[in-house]
Amino acid sequence: MEPEHLKVEHDGLIFDVTRSGPARGPWVVLLHGFPVDSRCYDAVIPRVHDAGLRTVTIDQRGYSPGARPEAVEDYTLDKLTGDVLGVLGHLNIAYSMIVGHDWGGIVAWQLAAKNPDRFTGLVAVSTGHPSAMRDALAAGSDQRERSAYIKDFIAEGAEETLAARNGVLLRRSGVPADELSSVLEPGAMTGPLNWYRANFTGDIAQALACPPVEIPTTMLWSDADAALGREQAEFSGRYVYSDFRFSVLDGVDHWVPEHAPEQLASEIALRSSWF
């Protein structure tokens, strides 16, 4: 099937959505993180198709040009998860596997936990279950230090700081330069940063509260990730009441979809064999 590039309306917003893959086969929804859009999965998707799976990608709220509301409160997790469910409803996809990297992983954990009847399996990439993150912080690990950058992301004027010199700070963190073009457009950085401002200020525990997951789950973590430590990934097994697989990528940084597409596609294919 040739890729279909769609404009899907939900909640008064227009989302850029692509569905592609074999004519038949289980669906896999791939959710990107900060600060990149669905292009991060470009090297993963053909490999997933080779495994007989169809894919849906969504440029999420703040990333699709037609889905950039201005208010911070428009980026709370209930809005972000509602977008995914709304798009899938528009596409008449009743069941799918869910894959999420970085912020997309946080959204994926929430979707899997709260909608077990809609999702057949979860592959969380880099980002552990929110309760596992709480445990890692309480355990005295280095996760608090790793997460220190968040205060800079929610600060006033963060847009200008991160966009300066063609996004040099983001590029130094390892973000592939060719994936920054969209977020560096005038006004495009605010929406992605509002994900942090809406959910990482005030009562964070309440904002990120997430039930245990009761569907088969893979946690894929890379040991050169500077932002997310091993504990928050490995402790996620405490909050999965189904088959749980913890897989570690050696020598790979945070940007797993771009820098380890073969391994990510293999984990997706392996998890799909459970349904």
Domains and CATH numbers, the chain: 4-272 (3.40.50.1820)
| For residues 73-80, average pLDDT | 97
Residue 242 three-state SS: coil
pTM as predicted = 0.96
Instruction: Supply the Cα-derived Rg of the chain in whole angstroms.
Output: 17
What's CA 224's distance to the chain center, in Å?
A: 18
| Token pair for 166 | 């063609």
pLDDT tier at 11, thresholds 50, 70, 90: very high
- What local confidence, expressed as pLDDT, does residue 68 receive? 98
| Token pair for 162 | 């991160």
Which 3-state string (H, E, C) describes 56-86?
EEEECCCCCCCCCCCCHHHHCHHHHHHHHHH
Q: How much of the chain, in percent, has pLDDT values that exceed 90?
A: 87
| For residues 52-56, average pLDDT | 97
The 10s digit of each residue's pLDDT in 174-213 is: 988 889 989 999 999 999 999 999 998 877 667 788 999 9
| For residues 142-148, average pLDDT | 89
- What local confidence, expressed as pLDDT, does residue 274 receive? 59
Interior angle at CA 61, CA 148 and CA 125, nearest 5: 55
The 10s digit of each residue's pLDDT in 210-266 is: 999 999 999 999 999 999 999 999 999 999 999 999 999 999 999 999 999 999 999
Q: Cα separations (Å) of 149 from 9, 143, 144, 242, 260?
A: 33, 11, 10, 33, 24
- What local confidence, expressed as pLDDT, does residue 210 receive? 94
Query: For the chain, what is the largest distance between any 2 Cα atoms, rounded to a whole number of angstroms?
Result: 49
Which DSSP symbol is given to 211? Answer: P
- What local confidence, expressed as pLDDT, does residue 242 receive? 97
- At residue 50, does pLDDT exceed 90? yes
